Chain A
Amino acid sequence: MKKLKVVLVEDEEIVLRELKETIDWEGLGLEVVGTAKDGIEGEQMIRSLSPDIVVTDIKLPGKNGLEMIESAAVTNGIILSGYTDFEYTKRAIRLGVFDYLEKPVDDEELEKSLKMLAIRIIEDEKDVDRISDGCHITLMEDVQNHWIKVAIDYMNKNYMNQISLSDIARETRLSESHLSTLFKAETGINFLQYLNAIRLNAALNLLSQSTMNVSEIARSTGFPTPGYFTKIFRRFFGKTPTEYRGQ
């Protein structure tokens, strides 16, 4: 089985070494493909290596961890932070960061989190293969559960805006964890994947029927940045939006 690629970004030498050397990456099915000590270096590394997972500190020289994640369009990130700052956590959620761990980091918790993330990534890939035929995504829309119907309805209406699981939880009056499980059970894929699929379907339409460029399409379909759009597009269809339009 192929190992998922991990990039670590942390400015403290000792901490970086500790992470790299004492976490049982093998056992988690992961491989650290690169480490960086500042935000700029980290971003370049992420662009060149396209890792599956990025583990990063927030406070970094050059560019902070969240900015780095955003500009490099990281889809699966874990934040390690000395800060408990509501603004940071809010922004992290918006960028789809998988977990936010506070220093001193309990390595057991980190490993648990990495393990869950790895499982999700693999499942997501399977899901993508299942619902995408390379040029179109088929979504299960005919669900039985009323609340999931409400949730899908809400997503279809609001995908062009920034929406998160907590918005839908508020809309359906379900707890986030319950909603998440129920969603997966009803639709076969997780909430974020489903939202991405809706956005991508909309983007496919725009790509073939409008002259809008990639940035405009990304903005009007609700992706945080064109980078994310391209990245997720490629994950689903194996090519960039520009290549798709070229065909």
Chain B
Amino acid sequence: MLQSSMRRRPVTTLSGRLIIYFLIVMLVPFLLFVSYTIINYNRGIERAMTAQAVSALESDAASISSVIEEYRHKAYTLSSSPIITRVLEENDPEKTARNISSVYETLYVTMAGDTYKASASIVSSTGDIRISTHNFPEAYDLRTHTNDWDSSNIITIAKRKSGRERASIISIEDHRYDAGRQVLLSILRRTFAADGTLTGYIIIDVMSDAVIPEINDSNLFSEVVLVDNETFSAISLTHPQRYGSFSEFPFLRNDSSDIYRAPLEGTTLELVAISLNPLLRENFRTWTLVIAVSLVVGILISIILSLIFSRSISTRMRRIIESMKRFERGDFSIKLEKTGIREFDELSITFNIMVHRIERLLERTREEEAKSAEAERKALESQMNPHFLFNTLNTIKALAKMHGETEIYQTTIRLGKLLRSSIDNRSESATLQESLDLVECYLLIQKLRFGEKLRYSINCREDLLDRETPKLILQPIVENAVTHGLSEKLGDWNIDITIDEKDGKLCMSVSDNGIGFHSIPDMADLEHSQHTGLYNVYRRLELKYGDAFSFSISSEPGMGAAITIIIPMEDK
């Protein structure tokens, strides 16, 4: 039962505890923040981003579609223009030269000032007629390349397709730069003579500038790519210098949720975009890394701080402990300096005070020991074998009695009683009867010496005689009265001893008609005066009763003195 209640507490160091507290303070808000962010990111942001990306891409696709549609329509307009079809059908440069201004007019009107966004070129099937809103692109000069060597050339593509197709052909194969502008896609329309023979081609090259400003307005995508699913070629709309087959764009092959697709109506083209999510995720990863790093740094800092702090405590503590150990070995010169930490300073001050007190106490004890050793030495020197003394007194008594010396006989017996009571340590108290007998013994012996000159009276209420009082109280006071009060006085000597009860307390008074005290001494004077007997009585009463007694001296010089002691009444 006892053991289970005594749970053992693990012993830890200050620094260890501090580190734990620091970590709790640091990690708890961090973990809350991280868990909140993760939950939020997964649920909301990603879904919203996806929806936003889908609609953004759709609007991008719509704008590209409308651009393509616009220029397809322009290509159609040009192909159905009578002047252009005639020029191509005639295929005669001289005749054309005559009509050239109206051809150009038709071209410019149709392109309607969009010439920085697109260029329109017409070329006859032989290549003899070559007219363009801009410089005629060399790639379309059929004289120089009748072969299929340039697979990215839209004419080459058109030739590969069935010859009778009137519909527009759209290609994103060609990425020529023309006057610093990049061609994004080309739209080709073939013109035919009335008999159905191919007369030439109308080509509109749409520059990337026509489309790119519209694309990825919302900046949701890291890349938007225009893809031709028929030719498996692609061009990046966000980074137009990137183009080529699908191998140029590895992300087209995978089917990640971060890839968004929007087909362009009426074409084989498709808009493919890669969202910023991976980037965000990348960001998130970097961010996690930053947090992890700061966490590590934080832990390091907290460890260092804890070590510094606990060290600042433990060095002071060690100083105190060392001082205490030195003190334990008896070095009392120890004094703890101020440390600059209030709690430690309080400890230091208390310790210093304690050291000071103990030092004083030890000094006092040593002094007392020295005194008592001295007293003991004196006692031993003056000691006489009490058995020898008592046996001798007994022999004297026997002799006196046999020779009829009554006074010697009685004095011997009284002396024996007095001596015995002063060395008897069996009991600390005596009845008043015993104490008064002793006083009488003493006074009778003194009377023997001084005869009728010494007179005494003892008054005690009969019922108080069996009360216990501390022994050897009255006799030393009487002895003091005789030796200091009366012995120097001429004339009669009187001593009156009165014992009475007063307010439930025992009142003992000894008065004499001796020379009295010059001045009433207080107890401190008494200790060093010749009245050591009185002081000893006072001291013994103080030890026994504390404050519960009174000891008073009254005296008139030349007229006598009275000593009154009031002590609590002991039970019978």
Which residues of A are at the interface with B, using a C-beta cutoff of 8 A? Answer: 12, 14-15, 17-19, 21-22, 59, 82-84, 86, 102-107
B401 A86 Cβ-Cβ under 8 A: no
CA distance A82 to B390 in the complex (A): 6
- Does any Cβ of A come within 8 Å of B395's Cβ? yes
Q: Which residues of A contact B391 (CB under 8 A)?
A: 12, 82, 103
A212 to B471, CA, bound (A): 53
- With A82-B390, A84-B420, A106-B413 known as contacts, the answer to whether A12 contacts B395 (CB < 8 A) is yes
Evaluate contact between B401 and A104: CB separation under 8 angstroms: no
Partner of A104, one of B387, B397, B423: B397
Q: Complex Cα distance A106/B420, Å?
A: 13
| CB of B405 to closest CB in A, whole Å | 12
SS class, residues of chain B in contact with chain A: helix
A14 and B399 contact, CB distance less than 8 A: yes
Known pairs A84-B420, A84-B424, A86-B426; A103 contacts B399 (CB<8 A): no
Give Cα A84 to B18, complex, Å: 72
**Is B355's CB within 8 Å of the partner chain A?**
no
Establish whether residues B398 and A15, one from each chain, have CB atoms under 8 Å apart when the complex forms. yes
Counting from the closest, the 5 A-B pairs by CB-CB distance are A18-B398, A103-B394, A104-B416, A104-B393, A104-B394
Query: By the criterion CB–CB under 8 Å, are B416 and A103 in contact?
Result: yes
A82 to B396, CA, bound (A): 14
The reply to whether B401 and A22 form a contact with Cβ atoms under 8 Å apart is: yes
B401 touches A14 (CB 8 A): no
In the assembled complex, how far is the CB of residue A174 from the closest CB belonging to chain B, in whole angstroms? Answer: 14
Whether the Cβ atoms of A103 and B426 lie closer than 8 Å is no
By beta carbon, the residue of chain A nearest B385 is: A82
A15 touches B395 (CB 8 A): yes
Binding site for A on B (CB under 8 A): 386-387, 390-391, 393-399, 401-402, 412-413, 415-417, 420, 423-424, 426
B387 and A105 contacting across the interface, CB-CB below 8 Å: no
Cβ-closest chain A residue relative to B404: A22
Compute how far the CA of A106 lies from the CA of B398 in the bound complex, rounded to whole angstroms.
Answer: 10
Whether A103 contacts B402 by the Cβ 8 Å rule is no
* A205, B94: Cα distance in complex, Å: 178
Minimum CB–CB distance for B500 against chain A, Å:
26
Chain A residue numbers with a CB within 8 Å of B399 are 14, 18
B402 touches A14 (CB 8 A): yes
**How close is A194's CB to chain B, nearest CB, in angstroms?**
28
Least CB distance from B409 to A in Å reads 8
> Measured between C-beta atoms, what is the minimum distance from B182 to chain A in Å?
128
For B394, the chain A residues whose CB sits under 8 A away are 12, 15, 82, 103-105
A105–B397 Cα gap in the complex (Å)? 8
Q: For residue B393, which residues in chain A have a CB less than 8 angstroms away from its CB?
A: 103-104
- Chain A residue nearest to B398 (CB atoms) is A18
Nearest-CB distance from B280 to chain A (Å)?
A: 99
Q: Distance (Å) between the CB of A121 and the closest chain B CB? A: 26
Whether the pair B420, A22 counts as a contact (CB closer than 8 A) is no
Contact yes or no, B424 A18, CB < 8 A: no
- B424 proximity list for chain A (CB < 8 A): 84
Distance between Cα atoms of A74 and B229 in the complex (Å): 145
Closest to A23 in B: B401
**A84 engages B402 (CB within 8 Å):** no
Tell me if B413 and A104 are in contact (CB < 8 A). Answer: yes
